[in-house]
Amino acid sequence: MSKPPYKVVDLFSGAGGLSLGLEEPARLNGLANLAYRDISFEEKAFESVLAVENDDDTAETFRRNFDSEVIEKDIREIPSFGEWDDADVVVGGPPCQGFSNLNKTKTEELEDERNTLWRHFMRAVDEIDPDVFLIENVPRFLKSAQGARAVEIAEDMGYTTVVDTLWAHDYGVPQKRKRAFVVGSKLGVPFFPEPSDTRTRTVEDAIGDLPDEPSGENWHVPRQHVTELSKKRMEHVPPGGNRTDIPKELLPDCWIDKRGGTDLFGRLWWDRPSVTIRTEFYKPEKGRYLHPEANRSITIREGARLQTFPDDFEFVGARTRVAPQIGNAVPPKLAYHLGQALKAHLEGEDSQIIPDADTEHEIFKKSFPIGEEKQSQLAAFD
């Protein structure tokens, strides 16, 4: 069995949210007023040896922050991953836009070509043969035939595979973000971390120390070229409010009779976690992205804080290219807790399958999470 640091291949790496939480979690200590302290492994636990990222600016962001080989290429153009067969862990988030809830196609009818990129993730797993792999995606992935097929393929490769969905705010992230995960292991029954924090981190914890008037420094920049009409609309939206608080004469015709969409042109609350930070979080027309007090959208830095990227993390690209890097990432704080579970499993910790767990497909299984309640859970199972 290998010893730490465990070698990691990060596919569809993006800016490196997963790799940061695995390799350099101590960089989160002291971030804003989130009270992150003692975030670290006793020794270096993981080391990124390869990242694969197709977007040029995003690949350069990864290079600036990690001492890892980066292949800037479409994964479909990489003929073999056999060169990295000494890696212990393969992680990644195959592009999820095709599975997003914003895509209204019925789950079973999804044919977006991005939905097939998980096959290349599994190809890499087959060629590298790591002890453990981790897939991150939107929850809809675990309702799809593609998600079930990915797990079926992993099982055929000899992996014991478990799935679950996690809420980021349960792990100290100041954001209500729900994501699906698949973990496969050749060492036994893998598991997910139990929720780590009893205290819910809020928008104020994350960005309350930043000036209401953006400084323009270190990505504390809002959306540019805001119209006077948009500014008037913002003035009518109270904390927690949305487009329904705006006088009818200021609304576009398409909003007047629109049903649902309560986050549209919404304002964040200071005392709650934010909504999911997506790729265009600097546009209030895309969701609840108005600052809790100031009449503007949240800045790039504020979005990064809500995703738990430290202020010294270096982003490369124009504002409209950096926002997707932030919105697409796994929050590093959540990645750290996933890393704790992976490390414990790599070092011999094992779980048990939950019998009759409620899942979308028969092939999916859930295991008991490992944490402070582990012994009582397993004792009850026995």
| CATH code (residue 47) | 3.40.50.150
Nearest Cα to Cα of residue 10 among 30, 44, 61: 61
Question: Residue 311 domain-assigned?
Answer: no
The contacts of residue 341 (CB under 8 Å, 6+ apart) are 190, 191, 192, 193, 369, 370
Q: Strands 132-137 and 160-167: what pairing?
A: unpaired
Range of the domain at 141: 6-195+330-381
pLDDT reading at 109 higher than 70? no
Amino acid sitting at position 145: A
Task: Give the C-alpha separation, 335 to 20, whole Å.
Answer: 8
Question: Residue 38 domain-assigned?
Answer: yes
Question: Residue 210 domain-assigned?
Answer: no
Question: Residue 308 domain-assigned?
Answer: no
Q: What is the pLDDT of residues 239-287, one digit of tens each?
A: 999 999 999 999 998 888 777 778 999 999 999 999 999 999 999 999 9
Q: How many other C-beta atoms lie within 10 A of the C-beta of residue 374?
A: 16
Tell the residue number behind the tokens 């596919």, with chain if given: 11
- 3-class secondary structure, 146: helix
Q: What is the dihedral of CA 367, 368, 371, 376, to 10 degrees?
A: -160
DSSP state letter for 381: H
What integer pLDDT is reported at residue 257 of this predicted model? 79
pLDDT reading at 103 higher than 60? no
Model pTM score: 0.93
Number of domains in the chain: 1
Tell the residue number behind the tokens 């050749």, with chain if given: 186
Q: What percent of the chain has pLDDT over 90?
A: 86
Residues carrying an active site annotation:
96
Element (H, E) at 179: strand 178-185
Q: What is the pLDDT of residues 164-181, one digit of tens each?
A: 999 999 999 999 999 999
Predicted confidence band of residue 116 (pLDDT cuts 50, 70, 90): confident
- 3-class secondary structure, 230: helix
Question: Residue 247 domain-assigned?
Answer: no
Contact 47, 5 (CB under 8 A): yes
Question: Residue 344 domain-assigned?
Answer: yes
What integer pLDDT is reported at residue 259 of this predicted model? 75
What is the residue-averaged pLDDT of the chain?
92
Question: Residue 75 domain-assigned?
Answer: yes
DSSP state letter for 60: H
Task: Give the C-alpha separation, 9 to 20, whole Å.
Answer: 13
| 276 Ramachandran zone, left/alpha/beta (phi>0; psi -120 to 50) | beta
Q: Strands 178-185 and 160-167: what pairing?
A: antiparallel
Question: Residue 149 domain-assigned?
Answer: yes
- Highest mean pLDDT among 141-145, 261-265, 309-313 belongs to 309-313
DSSP state letter for 165: E
Q: How many other C-beta atoms lie within 10 A of the C-beta of residue 225?
A: 5
